[in-house]
Structure 1
Amino acid sequence: MIFPLPPNLRPHLAFPFVYLPSTFLVSLAELEALCTHLYIGTDLTQRIEAEKALLELIDSPECLSKCQLLLEQGTTSYAQLLAATCLSKLVSRISPLPVEQRIDIRNYILNYVASQPKLAPFVIQALIQVIAKITKLGWFEVQKDQFVFREIIADVKKFLQGTVEHCIIGVIILSELTQEMNLVDYSRPSAKHRKIATSFRDTSLKDILVLACSLLKEVLAKPLNLQDQFQQNLVMQVLKLVLNCLNFDFIGSSADESADDLCTVQIPTTWRTIFLEPETLDLFFNLYHSLPPLLSQLALACLVQFASTRRSLFSSPERAKYLGNLIKGVKRILENPQGLSDPGNYHEFCRFLARLKTNYQLGELVMVKEYPEVIRLIANFTITSLQHWEFAPNSVHYLLTLWQRMVASVPFVKSAEPHLLDTYAPEITKAFITSRLDSVAIVVRDHLDDPLDDTATVFQQLEQLCTVSRCEYEKTCSLLVQLFDQNAQNYQKLLHSASGITVDMAIQEGRLAWLVYLVGTVVGGRLTYTSTDEHDAMDGELSC
């Protein structure tokens, strides 16, 4: 069944079949054999020969006709993948094909994937990438006073009116197009890329986001059949589309992805109405609670971006209301924590919490009605996470970032509302210290990798902890002195014991190693402008 597209979307490529000379690939069977050697072959010599032959095909004037042959008569997915790869290289050349040819290729592929929605996923993805490249590179090309390559978005909406499989293809096209528009091609002028990306942002991206959100609302409005793989795949692709929209480089900053905790999403002002609607945040919180982990972590990843929205998008009252809705969502998740047992959900939720403090001041957080209850829930969640030290250590970084920045903000809070950090920060410090000491026995007895061997992670976590530990510093010092004296005494007893057990000695040495690191950390966290004589005296006690 051919998916109903308008007639102008259903031409064949405007190239008659012209088979290659007899000295080259003379048959479809030989061409498919070379595809097999290239993609799944184990013989290195055959693979090298296949690569040479196929490179010749890409440079051949008959390449387009051979691509059509592979797509229409090929018997394997690898033949179709080769055709897509060749087309991608052809349309990406610095010297572009004529406009009419690129229009024919685009329309042919649209009709091809519409008429064969059950193609292998990697084939569909490769063919859609060709459409995305054609659309981006021809974004400003005009024919008969029309931007001929911008019709793709209207064309895709016709896919959304078909079967679930067609709807999935339509969503993937929009998702791939959004990614392609955001992708910097360093072989071309950066100014041209920015001009195309900015035009796409201003003319199409908001509509794509609104369309994706409406599809998600339709999903939630019906009973979810989580056993239906097509429905699951559709929801996954729509969530990925939303994430691609929110991850778009709106202002051409090309932010370093490694600086994850510093990211602010520069949402355009024209999107304010979407973000001011409480239903937008509610939609993604509801999706998190309704979907299985593979999908709910994508909903959380979207919420991370929503929490990172630039502050200047809102007025002060609007920002307070938006933050209140985010905090309500956090409370709901922590009151129903079953989903956080999944590592993917857990990691995204930790990122979500860290982004809240990155984007909002402590003075704003304490003004939220639910703050006292939420900070208690977050503290309990953090303590539980620290106690399970072997679980997702990379995610703990975000929790410690949250507490580090919360405590660092205390001197600057002018609100009369209590921040409660003097209650919970010492509990976080204690949980970190005791959990690391308790981990030593397990590591030694079960012959596990010693966390202390990962010095980069240890130093990073200790640097974060030193700020948290200076809150109610008396409690931190008292705990460390007590633990150090106790473990030093136990070590002395083992040294003087005739029957000292090697395992027990290793455990005590490991605990003392952690304590030395911890003492050095909290003393090194001293800040001149906040230090007092009492704190200096406690630093001296720890150092002696």
Structure 2
Amino acid sequence: MLIFFFFLLKSLAELEVLCTHLYIGTDLTQRIEAEKALLELIDSPECLSKCQLLLEQGTTSYAQLLAATCLSKLISRVSPLPIEQRIDIRNYILNYVASQPKLAPFVIQALLQVIAKITKLGWFEVQKDQFVFREIIADVKKFLQGTVEHCIIGVIILSELTQEMNLVDYSRPSAKHRKIATSFRDTSLKDILVLACSLLKEVLAKPLNLQDQGQQNLVMQVLKLVLNCLNFDFIGSSADESADDLCTVQIPTTWRTIFLEPETLDLFFNLYHSLPPLLSQLALSCLVQFASTRRSLFSSPERAKYLGNLIKGVKRILENPQGLSNPGNYHEFCRFLARLKTNYQLGELVMVKEYPEVIRLIANFTITSLQHWEFAPNSVHYLLTLWQRMVASVPFVKSTEPHLLDTYAPEITKAFITSRLESVAIVVRY
């Protein structure tokens, strides 16, 4: 027994040295050797027992990260582990993070990514007439009933799962990926969005304690979850969000009821006005996606009402512009304005009751932005895109309501030219 314990300690010590070389070592040779040892460990019959050893007796977060990395590579192999083994790994990780909710954030994320991969790869697998890997949604609800730390873990599980379902693995057949992603979209994604929105409503219903880091982290994770839901590739178009080509979000028809409720948009506008900049920026990112919702989701009267609620939100932000002094909020708000014109025609915008006041506020905001272009130079082009599209639409407007662009477009043009001329001295100086 003593000999076995000594061997165990030696094995653990060797693994922790491997972790040090792999994650924080500066010697390139040692790191290359550590990477080779990692591959050997994954192929070893003792891989699972070594991972368990690292998780249960490792003395550093890097030991736990190594275990998560090994598990991720192990379950991602083309020849899958037996279904019983994958169920055991999933349940073990769930119990592990439930018993240790204060693990380092990067360790928790790495472990939960393993659960997400197991769930995706086994989405259609059946045991005893049940889709055993889809039970993860029910498992998450148990976390949401616990402490703030447990609630955060539950939300991250859903967020990682949503991202994983949306991620194309080019080493596997794309048809299989679409089949899994479509099934997840149809069976689970709407429920996840509704759950996330209900959590945000609970946050707003109570007095916000912005000094509570746990509560701030929870709100941040829930907003990221909503954003992952809205960024989902609903129809398999694989749109590149990083290109930001003013795309349309193909929200499923079954989600209409969520979008028709005025409380949904109000929730995110209220969150923007209530939260600190790091979090309010995420609320605005969600609103960018809401503004990009495909037109065909609504009937004409519904679309007009939805647009009216968006415009009211714009008016409220511009009348209370304090939050826009944050570069992140400013950037997302500029994206939001550009997406509005991409998705709605000028003839529809002028029919909104608040249009005359809002177009004046947007014009003043644009002029101020052009005068202080160095504040967020990568955001101004969204405003210029907005005005370019507005002016280009004038010949096609059939409405008798005044668009007022003949008043504001020359002012915007003058401000732009002036700002470019004044920037020459700054550019030459540097």
TM-score by length of 2: 0.97
How big is each residue's C-alpha offset from its partner over 1:445-482, in whole Å with a ceiling of 9 and x where there is no partner? Answer: xxxxxxxxxxxxxxxxxxxxxxxxxxxxxxxxxxxxxx
CA distance in 2, matches of 1:311, 1:272: 11
RMSD: 1.1
The residue number in structure 1 matching 2:384 is: 400
Per-residue CA distance 1:101-160 (angstroms, 9 max, x = gap) = 000000000000000000000000000000000000000000110000000000000000
CA shift, 1:259, in A, is 4.1
Shift of 1:256: 2.8
CA shift for structure 1 position 214:
0.2
**Deviation at residue 369 of structure 1 after TM alignment:** 0.2
The answer on 1:80 being equivalent to 2:64 is yes
Whether the aligned pair in 2 keeps the contact of 1:261 and 1:355 (CA below 8 Å) is no
Deviations 1:423-447 (A, max 9, x none): 0000000001111112223444xxx
Deviations 1:328-370 (A, max 9, x none): 0000000000000000000000000000000000000000000
- Partners of 2:272 and 2:242 lie apart in 1 by 26
1:375-413 C-alpha deviation (Å, 9 max, x unpaired): 000000000000012121110110001000000000000
What is the distance in 1 between the residues matched to 2:274 and 2:78?
Answer: 47
Question: What is the identity percentage for the equivalent residue pairs of Structure 1 and Structure 2?
Answer: 97
1:17-69 deviations in Å (ceiling 9; x for gaps):
xxxxxxx9951011101111110011222222222212111111110000000
Q: Distance in 1 between matches of 2:396 and 2:252?
A: 30
| 2:109 corresponds to which of 122, 125, 146 | 125
Q: Distance in 1 between matches of 2:55 and 2:299?
A: 54
Describe the shift of the 1:157–1:343 C-alpha distance in structure 2 as closer, same or farther (beyond 3 A).
Answer: same
Retained in 2: the 8 A contact 1:310–1:359?
yes
Query: Once the 2 structures are TM-superposed, how far is the Cα of residue 211 of structure 1 from its aligned partner?
Result: 0.2
Which residue in 2 is equivalent to 1:261? 245
Give me the whole-angstrom Cα distance separating, in 2, the residues matched to 1:258 and 1:186.
19
Question: Are 1:167 and 1:234, in contact at CA under 8 Å, matched by a contact in 2?
Answer: yes
Using the alignment, how far apart are the partners of 1:339 and 1:178 within structure 2? 30
- 1:255 deviation in Å? 1.1
Report how far residue 258 of structure 1 moved.
4.6
- Please list every run of 5 or more consecutive structure 1 residues that lacks an aligned counterpart in the other structure: 1-23, 445-544
Q: Which one of the candidate residues 406, 410, 428 is aligned to 2:394?
A: 410
Deviation at 1:261, TM superposition (A): 3.4
Q: What is the alpha-carbon distance in structure 2 between the residues aligned to residue 162 and residue 245 of structure 1?
A: 23
Offset at 1:257?
Answer: 2.8
SS of the equivalent of 1:252 reads: coil
* Structure number, greater radius of gyration: 1
Distance of 1:193 and 1:25 partners within structure 2: 42
* Contact 2:246–2:338, Cα closer than 8 Å, also in 1: no
Q: How many angstroms apart in 1 are the aligned matches of 2:50 and 2:113?
A: 19
Residue pair 2:346, 2:393 contacting (<8 A) in 1 also: yes
On the 8 A contact 1:331/1:374 being kept in 2, the answer is: yes
SS in 1 for 2:9: coil
Contact 1:159 1:170 in 2 (8 A): yes
Q: Distance in 1 between matches of 2:34 and 2:421?
A: 58
Partner-residue secondary structure (3-state), 1:393: coil
SS of the aligned residue for 1:367 comes to: coil
Q: Find the partner of 2:350 among 366, 375, 393.
A: 366
Alignment check: 8 A CA contact 1:261 1:354 kept = no
Partner Cα distance (1:248, 1:181) in 2: 9
Is contact 1:324–1:368 with CA below 8 Å preserved after alignment?
A: yes
Q: Which runs of 5+ in 2 are unaligned?
A: 1-7
CA contact (8 A) 1:288 1:297 kept: yes
Q: What does residue 82 of structure 2 align with?
A: 98
CA distance in structure 2 between the aligned counterparts of 1:112 and 1:395, rounded to whole angstroms: 44
Q: 1:184 & 1:443 partners in 2: Cα distance?
A: 42
Q: Give CA-to-partner distance per residue, 1:469-504, whole Å, 9 cap, x none.
A: xxxxxxxxxxxxxxxxxxxxxxxxxxxxxxxxxxxx
Instruction: Indicate conservation of the 8 Å contact 1:389/1:436, yes or no.
Output: no
Q: Does 1:432 align with 2:409?
A: no
CA contact (8 A) 2:315 2:358 kept: yes
Q: Aligned equivalents of 1:384 and 1:318: distance in 2?
A: 34
**In structure 2, what is the Cα distance between the partners aligned to 1:268 and 1:25?**
54
Aligned with 1:394: secondary structure? coil
Q: Are the counterparts in 2 of residues 25 and 31 from structure 1 also a CA contact under 8 Å?
A: no
The two structures have a TM-score, normalised by structure 1, of 0.76
Contact (CA 8 Å) 1:261, 1:358: kept in 2 or not?
no
The residue that corresponds to 2:336 in the other structure is 352
